[in-house]
Structure 1
Amino acid sequence: MTGVARPRVSGDRVKAARDAPRRPRTRYLLVVVLLAALALAAATAGIAVGSVRLPPDQVWGILLHRLHPALADVDWTPARETIVVDVRLPRVLLCAVVGAGLSVCGMALQAIVRNPLADPMLLGVSSGATVGAVTVVVLHVRWFGMFSLPLAAFTGALLALVMVFFLARAGGRMTTVRLVLAGVAMAEVLSAVASYLVLTSDDPHGAEAAMRWMLGGLAGTTWTVLWIPAAAVLTGTAVLLGLSRSLNLLLSGEEAAAALGLEVHRFRAALFVLIALMIGTVVAVSGSIGFVGLIMPHVVRFLVGADHRRALPAVALLGAAFLILADLAARTLISPEEIPVGILTALVGGPFFLFLMRRRAAR
């Protein structure tokens, strides 16, 4: 009796099938390590380069000595230590926090509204935060002490985001064109309101500070300024990571997400509040910096895919590195003068936005 011959599976194929799930994980870990190395290198350059240039090994020596005196021998002057620890380090860390926060919020917004062109600036969120913050700066509102500026920026960001969302919905649906048009229109109106507040201010110094702040910049950063946005961005990113599965469900559409048990409207409303809180806190310390939340998510999705469990940590690292390098360029291109970093991000992000629109139109 002749049995049915079974196909023989080679040992190489069995090994390849067993190792297949490991390859994406290994690739992802490699990408994250490279992004972390890029952020670390950018931070080192941001601290070392300036009116007083410092060797990178001396920068790390100063930082290690601050951690523990036995980690490095002192071969620098006290003035250089002050430059590193009290002047440049808080600014570089704030750049990292702002870049990470804008990038994470941009990726979350693109999932919430299912639109790859969504961005905190294009949807009017940054402009709403700007109006709230400029109101505090120009009118000298100090009802809540040091929290007055972040609270005003948060309120403006939340109101702007809610208004854009409702303006873009018609008949229970929201299209890409309506969302972008509503966001751009809202951003223009709110920018005009902020400019009007600046122009009609009785305080010339406050008006000048508000105008420079509206262009985006991180000059004069101190350790005191850093803690509130750092806490908001870290907490918000951790919450979004915990909600990664729900964000992934939204990418498949509202109906499919609801069929899988997600309360779409309640979830979206909660995330609107969270994103407005993060954006308002970030804008309160950095001014209006656009297009970071648009560019970084697209780059990260190309590198690691659209799964938010993997994409959110990667986009935070890339956004931090990008804004550190942009701020470094803003400080050094026409030194000793300083370019507002928002101008440089707009010069990079504007063409990128037009490229995305043309590609979507071609599809």
Structure 2
Amino acid sequence: MWLAAGGLLLLALASLFVGVADVTPSALLDPQTRAATLEALTASRLPRTAALILTGSSLAVAGMIMQMLARNRFVEPSTAGTIEAASFGMLMMLIFFPGAPVILKMTGSAAAALVGTAFFVYLIRRIPAHSPLLVPLAGIMLGAIIGSVTAFIAYRANLLQSLGAWRNGDFSLVISGRYEMLWLTLAFTLAAYLFADRFTIAALGADISRNLGLDYEKALAVGLAIVAAVSAIVVTTVGSIPFLGLVVPNLVSLAVGDNQRRALPWVALTGALLVLSCDMAGRLIVYPYEIPVGTVFGVVGGLVFLFLLLRRPARAS
């Protein structure tokens, strides 16, 4: 754990000095360039790095909660309709309450994400237990339906550009004053850690959970609320990152098992490390231009997803 935390710290420090602007230790030490370099560092590089860490860790944890509650390894917010529902809620807030504060728009987005995720949970309870691959398929279909309706409304309201920004994670516009809402995801990640044992028991199923004395409905409601809130905050701030909440919990479970209290710190660290790495790769591949981190991770996550799908189909549920 200490080695992983140290690796994250080193990667975060490296992220501060990667980009078009000349932000280097020598520029910080030079009296002639110190002021401009320090301004670029505090206004752009530090907020971007913090946003990457918060987004990566919180989305990975949200994916782990989704997998435990749905009892399926191939479920995460982007394969359960949660991201699409959050985008739909944000679009409705923009149309009907364009002058509302950001926190109010985010609340509307979270409410829509919660409804969409709850409907997904209701839907998968009707899927036969011996068909685990139908669960993510149902979530993808649900997300496609919600996304199509959202795209049609956005087209009629001339808001397709905004919708495209929510669907693809991009940190190039993150500056001081435009990312601070992401710090709320830290609070929800800590809440997930406090409820980790309950989520672990809930993953055994409703009947076993009740026999062990757990209020299953309460644990389910708390988990769905955390997933919906994190998804809404991330979508409205930087956009979505596909497959992040799917591949990270699966990779961590291969190493440390399914106990959430033990696995959650590893999931958070791994998610932050992967997002930071993909963002730095996106800044360097076509330098001085930039590839959005959502695109880079979509490729990496898709390949890992295929690996997981082919590696252990018998353990998918």
- Whether the 8 Å CA contact 2:234–2:240 is kept in 1: the answer is no
Is structure 2 residue 21 aligned with structure 1 residue 52?
A: yes
Corresponding residue for 1:37?
6
2:38 alignment counterpart: 81
CA contact (8 A) 2:42 2:176 kept: no
Judge conservation of contact 1:164–1:179 (CA < 8 Å) in 2.
no
Deviation at 1:58, TM superposition (A): 5.4
Query: How far apart in 2 are the matches of 1:323 and 1:87?
Result: 17
* Deviation of the 1:135 alpha carbon: 3.7
State yes or no: 1:96 paired with 2:53: yes
Letter in 1 for 2:286: I
Q: How does 1:183-262 map to 2 (within 5 A)?
A: 183-202=139-158, 206-231=159-184, 233-262=185-214
Unaligned 5+ runs, structure 2: none
> For 1:321, which of 273, 290, 294 is the aligned residue?
273
Distance (Å, rounded) in 2 between the aligned partners of 1:362 and 1:261: 30
Q: Give SS of 2:78's match.
A: coil
- Offset at residue 270 of structure 1 (A): 2.5
**Any conservation in 1 of the 2:77–2:227 contact (CA below 8 Å)?**
no
d(CA) in 2 for partners of 1:106 and 1:297? Answer: 7
Match of 2:133 in 1: 177
Which residue identity lines up with residue 307 of structure 2 in the other structure?
F
- 3-state SS of the aligned residue for 1:144? coil
Q: Is the 8 A contact 2:19 2:288 kept in 1?
A: no
Which deviations, in whole Å up to 9, do the C-alpha atoms of 1:47-76 show, x marking residues without a partner? 101113444x559xx6xxxxxxxxx99685
d(CA) in 2 for partners of 1:111, 1:50: 38
Q: Partner of 2:284 in structure 1?
A: 332
Quick one: percent identity of the two aligned structures?
Answer: 27
* CA shift for structure 1 position 99: 0.6
In the alignment, is the contact (CA less than 8 A) between 1:198 and 1:211 conserved in 2?
A: no
Deviation at 1:257, TM superposition (A): 2.1
Distance apart, 1:156 and its partner CA: 2.2
Give the counterpart of 2:304 among 330, 352, 355: 352
Aligned counterpart for 2:80 among listed residues 123, 135, 140: 123
Q: Deviations over 1:122-160 (max 9, x none)?
A: 1111111122223445x3733531223312321221121
SS in 1 for 2:10: helix
Name 2:62's counterpart in structure 1: 105
Is the Cα–Cα contact under 8 Å of residues 202 and 219 in structure 2 kept in the other structure? no
Counterpart residue number, 2:250: 298
Paired residue type of 1:218: F
Matched, 1:155 2:155: no
| Structure 1 unaligned regions, length at least 5 | 1-31, 63-71
Rounded Cα–Cα distance in structure 1 between residues aligned with 2:308 and 2:66: 16
Measured after TM superposition, the shift of residue 194 of structure 1 is 2.7
The worse-fitting range, judged by mean Cα deviation, of 234-243 and 324-333 is 324-333
Cα offset, 1:340, TM superposition: 2.3
Provide the TM-score with structure 2 as the length reference: 0.90
In 1, the alpha carbon distance for the partners of 2:13 and 2:6 equals 10
The alignment yields a C-alpha RMSD, in angstroms, of 2.5
3-state DSSP of counterpart to 2:13: helix
Q: Is the 8 A contact 2:53 2:273 kept in 1?
A: yes
Q: Deviations over 1:295-318 (max 9, x none)?
A: 111222233332222211121111
Cα distance per residue 1:235-273 (max 9 Å; x no partner): 112211111221222343333222111121232122212
Residues 122 and 263 of structure 1: is their aligned pair in 2 closer, same or farther, counting only changes over 3 Å?
same
Shift of residue 360, structure 1, vs aligned partner? 3.5
Question: After superposition, what is the alpha-carbon deviation per residue over 1:6-57, rounded to whole angstroms, capped at 9, x for unaligned?
Answer: xxxxxxxxxxxxxxxxxxxxxxxxxx112211211221121101113444x5
CA distance 1:273–1:210, change in 2 (3 Å): same
Answer whether contact 1:295 1:352 (CA < 8 A) is retained. Answer: yes
Separation in structure 2 between the aligned mates of residue 217 and residue 134 of structure 1, nearest angstrom: 18
Change (3 A) 1:329 1:136: farther
Distance in 2 separating the partners of 1:171 and 1:42: 42
Q: Quick one: distance in 1 between partners of 2:231 and 2:104? A: 15
Which amino acid counterpart does residue 210 of structure 1 have in structure 2?
Answer: L
Separation of aligned partners in 1, 2:26 and 2:217: 53
Q: 1:112 to 1:362 in 2, by over 3 A?
A: closer
In 2, the alpha carbon distance for the partners of 1:50 and 1:171 equals: 47
| TM-score computed with the length of structure 1 as normaliser | 0.79
Relative distance call for 1:140 and 1:281 in structure 2 (3 A) is same
Q: Deviations over 1:200-241 (max 9, x none)?
A: 234xxx53343233222122212323322212x221122111
